[in-house]
Amino acid sequence: MDVSWAAFVGVVVLAYLIPGPDFVVILRSATRGWRTGVAAALGAQTGLCVHVALAVGGLSLVLSRHPDLLTAIRTAGGLYLLYLAGRLVLATFRSAPGPDREEPAPGHGDRSAFGQALFTNLLNPKAVLFFAAVLPEFVGGPAPTWAQVSILGALDVLLGLVAWSVVILAGARLGRLLSRDRVRRWWDRTTGATLGVLGGGLLLARD
């Protein structure tokens, strides 16, 4: 493989440093507990593995022949983020929980966190474009293309696990500051609004 590893790692790290839907979902999940944060991180990276598999199978060729597919993914991703945002914000306007009841926050179990992060990643058009247009730029040399894409994709997934570990630790610490119901509700409203802005941005984006 004739790959500029430093350049590739730099591009991947930069992508993870720019907060996006995955970051918001994982951070919010981590404030519910580190196990929930881990579940969300694994969901996001599972989605990333699917993108890697699609890239190995010729994702760039498919998109070149069916450009409307990316628009469909972007629309679905935007609608899904708006759904998560609405569900999260509306729940904060329910009656405040009593001392013997848990806060009525939707989708904060491990399984739900995994699923939310999985679909958020799968429907992220930026992830699709990365594996369709950016990653192939680092492929070269006599080795089979599918093998090079697989190795680069696996490195992306591993770097993501490191990045999300930092986010989970930060989220778990932040969760201690959100123990009061009122503070938690405002945090969830802020998180929901952020997801709504990201979702609206996807719907309004133009090719």
Domain positions in the chain: 5-10+20-204
Alpha carbons 114 and 40: distance in angstroms, whole number: 4
What does pTM read for this prediction?
A: 0.88
pLDDT at 92: 87
Quote the pLDDT of residue 108: 61
Count the Cβ atoms, other than its own, within 10 Å of residue 7: 11
The backbone region for 90, taken as left when phi is positive above 0, alpha when psi lies in -120 to 50, beta otherwise, is: alpha
- Using the 8-state DSSP alphabet, how is residue 135 labeled? G
Residues in CB range of 97: below 8 A, 6 or more apart: 103, 104, 181
Please list the pLDDT of the chain residue by residue as tens digits (207 residues). Answer: 667 888 999 999 999 999 899 999 999 999 999 999 999 999 999 999 999 999 998 887 888 788 899 999 999 999 999 999 999 999 888 755 544 344 444 446 889 999 999 999 999 999 999 998 888 888 877 888 889 999 999 999 999 999 999 999 999 999 988 888 889 999 999 999 999 999 999 999 876
Q: Which residue, among 129, 184, 82, has the nearest Cα to 137 in the 3D structure?
A: 129
Q: Are 43 and 115 in contact (CB under 8 A)?
A: yes
Is 199 within 8 Å of 82 (Cβ atoms)?
Answer: yes
